[in-house]
Chains A and B, each alone.
Chain A
Amino acid sequence: MSFFKKLKDKISKKTEDVTTKFKDGLSKTSTAFTEKIETLVLRRKKIDEDFYEELEEILIGADVGVNVVMELIDELRTEVRKRKIEDAVDLQPVLSEKLVELLSGKEDNSLNIQESGLTVILFVGVNGVGKTTTIGKMAHRFNSEGKKVLLAAGDTFRAGAIEQLEVWGDRVGVDVVKQQAGSDPAAVIYDALQAAKKREADILLCDTAGRLQNKTNLMEELNKIYRVIKREVPNAPHEVLLVLDATTGQNALSQAKLFGEKTGVTGLVLTKLDGTAKGGIVVAIRNEMDIPMKFVGLGEQMDDLQEFDSEQFVHALFAGLIKDEEKREVEESVE
């Protein structure tokens, strides 16, 4: 059985519903991407420098990042030499396989939720990536699982941020711990931790103000929040999720690195993947750092936050390629 068959079988076992969501959310990404690679292979019959260059551009166009792309192209060159491949069509399966390899990871991407007692999840990221919205969606998720959820309004800086979280609290039907705007965020989080313990909440989701990762003072402020959580609850925070905007380019690497240094990021959430952005930066981050993707935001609705599933992701992203691969297999077996 081919690699793709296996992948497809695995996916068909998963709920239809989720697969559709992934497909819909990623349809723009996936068609654009696959079409490009297909036309490239069809148009350029021979594998030459121009072929590599165009392939390079397609990948870079998905924000995969220069370094990763260069490595991939080098690997392809070696394969081509080794297997003496001459036609671009014959390279396609090799290429597909390499692409899938890049995206799929073996690490565990489930959240570290405590069996009993409080689980604290801290959300960090630059401005405007969708931290508060992600918290709202996640609160909905945990709430509908029957867990007792509490939100901490740790963004005391941006105008209207506390109100925004409160609206989400109302929508979902969970409480929000807050102080007035401008107060010390670490103090808000401290209050929330005490409240969560007292009310015996299962999950505490901590919002923080967006900040650019090169602002030393603001990053220290975040580090203080992290330390407060660490001190108040053993083994907490159980998750520190870095929220990334799928439209972000190479700067996301710097974000992952610097937020990681200050808050020990344990996972990524990729938001706004329902646009035309490819979110290829995830590949670059995976390549350079050991931080697993945990969730993706695929739309504006409350339930549009999905657990990241690399197989689903790959399937949606390379749907066209996989179909082709199946056809070939069928043809081969007929022969």
Chain B
Amino acid sequence: MAAFEGLSNRLQNVFGKLKGKGKVSENDVKEAMREVRLALLEADVNFKVVKDFINKVKEKAIGQEVMKSFTPGMVIIDIVNKELTSLMGETHSKLNKSNKPPTVIMMAGLQGAGKTTTTGKLAKYLQKQNHKPLLIAADIYRPAAIKQLQILGEQIDTPVFSLGDKANPVEIAKQGLQQAKENHNDYVIIDTAGRLHIDEDLMNELKDIKETVKPDEVLLVVDSMTGQDAVNVAESFNQQLELTGVVLTKLDGDTRGGAALSVKAVTGKPIKFAAMGEKIDALEPFYPDRMASRILGMGDMLSLIEKAQTNIDEEKAKEMERKMRKAEFTFEDFLEQMEQVRNMGPLDQIMDMMPGMGKMKNMKNLNVDEKQLGRVEAIVRSMTTEEKRKPEILNASRRKRIALGSGTSVKDVNRLLKQFEDMKKMMKQFSTMMGGQGKKGKKPKLGKGFKFPFG
């Protein structure tokens, strides 16, 4: 969808004219914040949450120094990302555990959020850690909801407690808990019926269940595609039930999942799990930092900025620079560089992130193929240490061996060698152009680490 043009591209448009500025001015920030605001709203983050957030970021961003390797856009993204991450919660928070088993977990949420499915997935998750959960079927309203839980229980070989759909849910929960104690189940998960947060009768029923079983966890199950209303839903469930955490479902879709931020912001409760697929084991611990970049519509690459700062340490970069200048660059160095870049995430995203690159990619001439990269790596890894250091000794039979060893053809090996030579030549030219020694004290540019003999 055209509207979902990445924030990075938009910011680059805004800042295209501002390159080389020393500091981010108030006007720059204002302009950038307009784009950030739109990006967040498009991602379904609640507008009130967006407003608070923007104000916070504005304060931090004005007057920030623009590092040599960054564009003002990157500086802003960096700040936005850090703030977003801190708002989402820095680390993964684990499931509460009762000192006296069983640990009781209660699920709540709107209709169709995925409570029953998540109950099954959570049981599977606990089972994998050698726990013995009991599932309680307390959804007596939706047709066949009990049956659904029983089928899920069968699939993962976990007992399901049910009194049919005529019994009172509070009574079901109570008796279920009793059975868990008798059978020494160390976890109990109560599946409840979906309900609207404004339905007083049904909300009271939940309160009663809560009073009766005194759960260690009350988890709100939220559909990650939820729009602006997520705040109202989360707020009322939290007020009435005092949630302990949130599970985000259907996150394997193409939604940006702004609801996650809204829910976290209004309840202050951590998102503990994310449901990521149709299969019963598709429940994963939630990592808030990854969500931040998703909401901004930039995949994992947002963290590139941080990683670029930490991963390529300066010593190595200087050494690399020296080697490049003298054209001493070998296949060993090449591998090292490749790994550093790899650590940062998928290549096409990295390309996106580099100043100006995002636009080039639009022209479709920079289609970086990860598979191709893998092949190149295999070829280099099939060389002996000596060959890596002195590629000139690679004769026909050595090349044949490398091709065999890497599962490629001699043609591929030849092409890589040719490109490698070209790159070396280019580097030499490049460094003479730069005047060799004349860049003392300058921080290595981000772009330096990204030279490839292809692409």
Contacts and interface: CB of A to CB of B under 8 A. Distances in A.
Interface of A: 28, 57, 60-63, 66-67, 126-130, 136, 157-161, 163-164, 166-168, 171, 181, 212-215, 218, 245, 247-254, 257, 272, 274-278, 281
B3 interface: yes
Interface string B103-144: 000000011111011001000000000000000000000111
B225 A164 contact: no
A274 B194 CA distance: 14
B91 interface: no
B1 A253 contact: yes
B90 interface: no
Contacts of B116: 159-160
25 contacts: A57-B51, A60-B41, A63-B44, A63-B227, A63-B229, A128-B250, A158-B117, A159-B120, A159-B149, A163-B143, A164-B143, A164-B144, A164-B148, A167-B143, A168-B143, A171-B143, A215-B252, A245-B223, A247-B226, A248-B225, A248-B226, A251-B254, A253-B1, A272-B112, A276-B233
A157 B225 CA distance: 21
B155 interface: yes
Contacts of A130: 111-112
Contacts of B227: 63, 247-250, 277, 281
A251 B44 contact: yes
A66 B253 contact: no
A309 B226 CA distance: 24
A247 B249 CA distance: 14
A159 B41 CA distance: 35
B198 A28 contact: yes
Contacts of A277: 227, 229
B85 interface: no
Contacts of A60: 41, 47, 228
Nearest to B225: A251
Given A247-B223, A251-B254, A254-B254, A163 B147 contact: yes
A160 B198 CA distance: 27
B393 interface: no
- Residue among A28, A63, A245 facing the most chain B CB atoms (10 A cut-off): A245
A218 B278 CA distance: 11
B258 interface: yes
B1 A257 contact: yes
B110 to A, nearest CB: 7
Interface in B140-180: 142-145, 147-152, 155
Contacts of B196: 272, 274-275
B47 A57 contact: yes
B259 interface: yes
Contacts of B208: none
Contacts of B197: 275-276
Nearest to A131: B112
A60 B196 CA distance: 22
Given A66-B38, A249-B44, A212 B151 contact: no
- Chain B interface residue bracket vs A: 35 or more
Contacts of B258: 249
B228 A251 contact: no
Given A159-B116, A247-B110, 7 more contacts: A67-B3, A130-B112, A158-B148, A247-B230, A275-B229, A275-B233, A277-B227
A136 B143 CA distance: 11
B9 interface: no
A276 B1 contact: no
Contacts of A275: 110, 196-198, 229, 233
A277 B43 CA distance: 17
Contacts of B93: none
Contact of A126 (B43, B44, B143, B253): B253
Contact of A213 (B42, B228, B253): B253
Interface string B23-66: 00000000000000010011110111001000000000000000
A129 B112 contact: yes
A295 B280 CA distance: 33
B185 interface: no
B382 interface: no
B254 A212 contact: yes
Nearest to A127: B250
Contacts of A212: 250, 252-254
B111 A272 contact: yes
B38 A128 contact: no
B232 interface: yes
A127 B148 contact: no
Given A249-B226, A254-B1, A128 B252 contact: no
Contacts of B330: none
- Residue among B155, B253, B259 facing the most chain A CB atoms (10 A cut-off): B253
A128 B148 contact: no
B30 to A, nearest CB: 12
A61 B114 contact: no
Contacts of B41: 60, 66
Given A168-B143, A254-B1, A274-B196, A61 B111 contact: no
A330 B153 CA distance: 65
A249 B228 contact: yes
- Residue among B111, B227, B252 facing the most chain A CB atoms (10 A cut-off): B227
A214 B255 CA distance: 10
Given A163-B144, A276-B197, A249 B253 contact: no
